[in-house]
Amino acid sequence: MDPKFCPHNAQVETRADGTLIYSSGYEMSAPVRTTGDWLHRWAEEAPLRTFLAERYGAGWHEVSYAQALEQVRAIGAALVARGLTQDTPVIVISGNGVDHGLLALAGQYVGVPIVPVAEQYALVHGAHGRLRHAVELVQPKMAYTVDADQYAEALVLDVFDGIEIVASRPGHAENVTPFAELLKGDPTVDIDAAHAKVGPETVVKILLTSGSTSAPKGVPTTHAMMCANQAQLADALPFVKTRPPVLVDWLPWNHVFGGSHNFNLVLANGGTLYIDDGKPVPALINRTLENLSMVSPTISFNVPLGHAQVVEALKKDPELRRTFFAELDMIFYSGASLPQEVWEGYEALARAERADIPLMNTSWGLTETGPATLIQHQPTTRSGIVGVPLPGVTAKLIPDEGDPNRCEVRVKGPNLFSGYLGSPEKTAEAFDEEG
């Protein structure tokens, strides 16, 4: 095995009733206190390194770590000056972008939760009921959108009455604060004092569950959850600590995978996130391929459909294939099992370009678990393996009485949430007697 990868080391306890208790044989590293610790570290150690980038014309609009820290502190001061607190979140109703990322970090820096919602809630008229539910659930005092004209139909809903609307591009909308105003900060705010009040148990974001069976539930996410999960991932994937991750990633930040797992993997390890404005849909996949032709990622995150489309493109484009595999350490799939033919397609393409094959893997987790709890972190040859518990995680596998090949999985660890927003009944249902 390549020494940069970490072999599995699972410990197993078998109980009398057949229940299996799995844990990692590795000790979990101590996490940082807050995400601000990561930002300060990399602004000092690699101030000129690009942290966030988004497409701008034929190239990229890039923000370095030093610039990000300066802007996060300014935005944070503007939030504090407006009286925003733990109880007055900022709801975000548009997709990924540099300004969105800076606003999220500013909220984390001063203890104002950010609530990113699926942009289709605002763009699709039939989904406005879900947007209304989200606003009524979290009671924000500010709403951010990248483009006020694009989201105008949603912003005039009465549920936004009394809420300050902020937009990177205010357009023709009335009573909208330009995002540039937040970047001016507020000299009357002691930003260091505001940041000092933030700690591990501070809620930094509220993520909404998919709501496939009921109305979406709010999952308060703390610094402790996110910082623990990144410490766990770095223990299982040690190469991210020695080579800062470079991502070209479209996965939406209103989901825990894109917004917590991937975003924080970059920030925690001093990497660079190129925000992919493409998607694995017919109208946008070519944009993803264009972005991949410009940047060699070290990790490729995607859903199975996206990976399948990338594999087909790599077969046809030798130059894209060279760029894609040039620095690649890991190919990671989520959302469903990767078809084996796509897996084998990647293997064949990698062998055509280099001597080794990147680590190909997945993990298992939920919005409530921050997200990663189980991960396959040693090389294998087939898809569908969710792996073993991360350091610090305990997994309980309870046999299904009706099917010996099935079991219920329950987990606990420092990366888990403590309860749903305003729903003690659902919270009680989520935990068993062992937590």
Distance CA 238, CA 231 (A): 10
Report DSSP state, residue 30. Answer: P
Backbone phi, then psi, for 201, in 5-degree steps?
A: -90, 5
Report DSSP letters for 341-381, one per residue: HHHHHHHHHHHHH-SS--EEE-EEE-GGG-SEEEE--S--S
Q: How far, in Å, CA of 146 to CA of 159, rounded?
A: 19
Alpha-carbon distance of 386 to 363, in angstroms, equals 5
In this structure, what are the phi and psi dihedrals at residue 347, rounded to the nearest 5 degrees? -60, -45
pLDDT > 80? residue 224: yes
Instruction: Answer whether residue 215 shows pLDDT above 90.
Output: no
Q: Which two tokens stand for residue 114?
A: 């950010």
- In sequence order, which residues have a C-beta less than 8 Å from that of residue 34 and are 6 or more positions away? 108, 198, 199, 200, 202, 223, 227
Q: Is the pLDDT of residue 4 over 90?
A: no
Are 137 and 117 in contact by the 8 Å Cβ rule? The answer is no
3-class secondary structure, 55: strand
Q: From its phi and psi, is residue 356 left (phi > 0), alpha (psi between -120 and 50) or beta?
A: beta
The Cα 375–Cα 396 span in angstroms is 15
User: 183 vs 76, 103, 274, CA distance in Å?
Assistant: 9, 10, 22
Q: What is the mean pLDDT of residues 383-400?
A: 96
Q: In the chain, what percentage of residues exceed pLDDT 70?
A: 100
According to DSSP, the β-strands at 50-56 and 59-64 are antiparallel
Region 254-263: mean pLDDT is 98
Cα–Cα distance for residue pair 220/324, rounded to 1 Å: 36
Which token pair is 35? Answer: 């995400």
Number of C-beta neighbours around residue 326 at 10 A:
12
Q: Give the separation between CA 163 and CA 143, rounded to whole angstroms.
A: 7
Chain-wide mean pLDDT for the chain? 97
CA separation for the pair 261, 174 (Å, rounded): 36
3 state SS for 220-286: EEEHHHHHHHHHHHHHHCCHHHHCCCEEEECCCCCCHHHHHHHHHHHHHCCCEEEECCCCCCCCCHH
Confidence of residue 214 (pLDDT cuts 50, 70, 90): confident
> Could you give phi then psi for residue 269, rounded to 5 degrees?
-115, 15
CA distance 234 to 247: 16
Distances (CA, A) of 50 to 29, 98, 106, 250, 327: 27, 12, 18, 18, 17
Residue range 36-53, pLDDT digits in tens: 999 999 999 999 999 999
pLDDT over threshold 70, residue 213: no
Asked whether the whole model's pTM tops 0.85, one would answer: yes
**212, pLDDT greater than 70:** no
Q: Which domains does the chain have, with CATH numbers?
A: 10-32+223-430 (3.40.50.12780), 65-219 (3.40.50.980)
Q: Residues 106-120: pLDDT tens digits? A: 999 999 999 999 999
283: tokens are 């109208």
Q: Assess contact for 271 and 301: CB atoms under 8 A.
A: no
pLDDT in tens, 393-411: 999 999 988 888 899 999 9
Tokens of 242: 């020695």
